[in-house]
Structure 1
């Protein structure tokens, strides 16, 4: 790193803190400003913030590892989530904005009634806002340690390369990461969501600009020789965009799936399992962005822009670098480190600092969002609900800032004791399998109650833990102990039977709660017929069949754009132009349909808000 490199890094940090200080006063007005930016966010800002948040520091490294192991098609392990993300665009984005809640955990008591609803809200606030949150921060912190450790292999602090902290030997790189987390917590507690989201846009531009520049630089190397050089030096199957379905793959670098495994990914996972940033029906920080939009159309278009950018455009610079890393470092023991080694060995002075700033941006964007989102649960759904319900807004803002710093400190402690998160992805998806269907149906079926969601939340966790315990004792239960994703069939099946039983064996949600929900959100479809009969004056959403068609066309838009960009970049022009043509036609259809049916899609927004 030269002086010019460090100037880029320092300039980025100064600008980020400048944004935080600029929004300090506004964020301190009330919790709506601190957590939802006053519900005044335009679609492009909210959508870009979603993309920036999911551009974690570990994602380029993970994509590099996927490509090294299974070729480009290995990305279908996360590309399949495009189905669910597009479902959120048309069926849930407008409903989240219309609901008026501050968090998706608050939604629990807005939709359900009784003590079990209060328990569910409190448990979800602690589980997601604290436990899950600090694990995610620990996850990305380990990835950032890898980046710093590879870029600065001789890094020392105060003359030491490692430190003993809480009985653990900690690398100097991880100590630097700890300092970065405290730095992020400082600007997150200063600026609230306004500062986080505006900084997200800046960080996204820096991160994407840096990775695109890296792709161009590595392709220009004599050892690579451009796209054609990659084709010449790597097996053809490495460039397949679709996995091999059934039977053995042609080569070691081809992603091969059995028909049942492919059906699990493409037909079960995306709607059945909860995962941060890919919750069925929307949720977490994605829901937070939708609820911060200034109206329903802005919430819909923010989620649409996020889906296209997240799945179609953002991965390709990473994939190109990952392919180049296979050529430059064919025998690398840790494939994900190939991305960082390309940075270190390829970039000239100045550009290395820019890309290091890009990784800082990716890291800080994710951590700041996790802190703001997680603390919104702890303050709004635990502290305000159960501890101090009658305080003023200044009190809650102060608690929010204190907890932001406290959660950051706690995440540091957890990070120190994390060695690896191997298989955590599959375990997390397995332990939430079946919950997704309840998260979807609670919007469109009145009979779903708090017990439905409670059982659907707990049952897959117990099933997954039971499978692990039975494995340890050598006891086999067919289906339940299958490897991910084949275990989804049994876990989703058992969980669905259990939550349906709980639904019909317990009392329905109180009619007054259902009536208030229906009058505020006015969801459409036959699932609300008994409630709709009590409120003939409420105009429910119409055209669910048209929304289903828009969803299908949206899925075509996402994957034709994804394939079109890939084919053009990889030099298959005819296929690329064909896919781009399909994408343009799909986009034109959606635009026309949304404009023509604006009333039925979005409702008479101003009139309904006045009525509510």
Structure 2
């Protein structure tokens, strides 16, 4: 089943290899995504391997207090689709037909110095290296658990497959594989807890079994020792939601949707997917606590879904469900590889080295960049004791604080200028990096919160203290507003 699945993904990459004619096709699919493909590919690339491994593992260890992360993510998903999606789609096309986020920042603020493009591309490279490595770690743990091979061999196999179809087919291959992977992820994450609960005798029996282990696991307001969750801990979990506004691999889906009118349908599909998937992922961890007789210690808890599947199903069905985990891993890693490669090509190579490069040359540079970024991410993933959730949380915070405030204010505040955008991005990114290195007291707060707040404050202050945007920028802002009203 694994081999069939992998061959199918490779075939999709090959199909779109022959359809890719220029850089716009490779990095944005020519802006031709339907509502269904946009919504499912956005959510599949968003949730990644941590939906089926990281979040169930957290619930397995700490119980219902992990629900606060799920709530934060669900609210953040809705606001991102409701507030950002349509406006970003219209603005990126109106403002120089921008292909990447750095491209958009440069065009939005008419930055001839290229500094906005370069700084934003640097932060994309830094944080996506960590994010992509988390996907490789998840893939390595998956192959290692399923086939009983060493982690390094497993990691190598997973990385090669992901790189292969991203290298070949670009954005459309990534989105169409993500579409099918999103369907598989949804089926797997909903099916496993239902069958697990049924095998344990029903909901009441499952709840009573969890209570017998530790009644505190069912209380979302206390930890496993019965101590009330701290305000810092609760805010940190909910704050995952504000990270959505700055995730390049999700925002690029909004930029690529066929029409702004498709956004409403896509939002509805995405919210149904997210609500059921997040709730089911938490339940998997709780059910696994009872279902599995051998306790999972530390980061091994992230294998709870994999082990439950291997025990519940025959090899054919189990193979399909295991492939769903691989789908979750691949759907995010491929998106991150592509966004990073497009930034390196569009925002470094073309800007600094080959301004007149042909479309064919740029496509091949993007493909080479995919391979280079993958090699570095592979190196970072070599430690098999790495926690998927911890790696993701750092990268998530980095993007959320670096780009989130800049995206929101650039779309809704006419007075924002280039200086404010630059200062905000640098402040948000550096705050996350510094805050992460500190611990104790207030520094236990999730680094996205101080990073996001500091970035907003700096953008507003610097924009107000420096020169107003030009009339050209203001007129374009008003034009975008009118187009949004029409849609």
Q: How does 1:42-441 map to 2 (within 5 A)?
A: 42-99=34-91, 100=93, 101-114=98-111, 118-128=114-124, 130-153=125-148, 155=149, 172-221=150-199, 224-235=200-211, 238-240=217-219, 243-244=220-221, 249=222, 252=224, 256-259=228-231, 262=234, 266=238, 270-271=241-242, 275=243, 278-279=244-245, 283-310=247-274, 312-327=275-290, 328-329=292-293, 331-334=295-298, 335-416=301-382, 420-421=386-387, 423-424=390-391, 427=394, 433=401, 436-441=404-409
CA separation of 1:356/1:398 partners in 2, compared to 1, >3 Å: closer, same or farther? same
1:442-453 equivalences under 5 Å are 442-453=410-421
- Bigger drift between 334-343 and 30-39 goes to 334-343
- Larger CA Rg, structure 1 vs 2: 1
Cα 1:370–1:508 shift into 2, 3 Å: same
Bigger proportion of residues as helix: 2
Contact 1:434 1:496 in 2 (8 A): no
Residues 496-531 of structure 1, C-alpha deviations (whole Å, 9 max, x = no match): 443333223322333333334443x23xxxxxxxxx
Cα deviation digits, residues 135-186 of structure 1 (max 9, x gap): 1111122222222333344x2xxxxxxxxxxxxxxxx323222222122222
Provide structure 1 residue ranges, at least 5 long, that are not aligned to the other structure.
1-7, 156-171, 523-539, 542-601, 606-612
SS at match of 1:443: helix
Contact 1:31 1:396 (C-alpha < 8 Å) held by counterparts: yes
Contact 1:449–1:503 (Cα < 8 Å) also in 2:
yes
Show the counterpart of 1:165: none
Say whether 1:11 aligns with 2:4. Answer: yes
In structure 2, relative to structure 1, the CA distance for the partners of 1:457 and 1:189 (3 Å cut) is same
Q: 1:315: how far off?
A: 2.6
* C-alpha displacement of 1:390: 1.4
Structure possessing the higher relative contact order (Cα contacts under 8 Å, 6 or more residues apart): 2
Note if contact 1:66-1:75 (Cα within 8 Å) is conserved in structure 2: no
- Residue pair 2:189, 2:280 contacting (<8 A) in 1 also: yes
CA distance in 1, matches of 2:189, 2:175: 21
Q: 1:469 to 1:376 in 2, by over 3 A?
A: closer
Task: Name the SS for the 1:176 alignment partner.
Answer: helix
Distance (whole Å) between structure 2 residues aligned to residue 50 and residue 285 of structure 1: 8
Between the aligned partners of 1:255 and 1:68, the Cα distance in structure 2 is 18
Distance 1:289 1:508 in 2: 31
Cα drift, residue 79 of structure 1: 2.2
Q: 1:483 to 1:32 in 2, by over 3 A?
A: same
Task: Quickly say closer, same or farther: Cα 1:41–1:173, change in 2 above 3 A.
Answer: same
**Residues 67 and 322, structure 1, Cα contact 8 Å, conserved in 2:** yes
C-alpha change, 1:149 and 1:253, in structure 2 (3 Å) is farther
C-alpha distance in 2, partners of 1:97/1:375? 21
The 8 Å contact of residues 291 and 299 in structure 1, kept in 2 or not, is answered as no
Partner of 1:578: none
Q: Distance in 1 between matches of 2:404 and 2:227?
A: 26
For residue 263 of structure 1, report the CA deviation from its aligned partner.
5.4
Alignment partner for residue 482 of structure 1, among 443, 446, 451? Answer: 443
Q: CA deviation at 1:210?
A: 3.4
Instruction: Provide closer, same or farther for how the CA distance between residues 255 and 145 of structure 1 changes in structure 2, counting only shifts above 3 A.
Output: farther
| 3-state DSSP of counterpart to 1:92 | helix
C-alpha distance in 1, partners of 2:192/2:140? Answer: 20
Looking at structure 1, the residues matched to 456 and 13 of structure 2 have their Cα atoms a distance apart, in angstroms, of 45
Cα offset, 1:233, TM superposition: 0.6
Q: Is the 8 A contact 2:134 2:391 kept in 1?
A: no
The secondary structure found in structure 1 opposite 2:462 is: helix
Distance in 2, Cα, partners of 1:489 & 1:176: 36
Q: Distance in 2 between matches of 1:497 and 1:89?
A: 24
| Runs of 5+ consecutive residues of structure 2 not aligned to the other structure | none
Deviation per CA, 1:356-398: give whole Å up to 9, x if none.
Answer: 2222222222222112222222222222222212122112112
Root-mean-square deviation (CA, aligned residues, Å) is 3.0
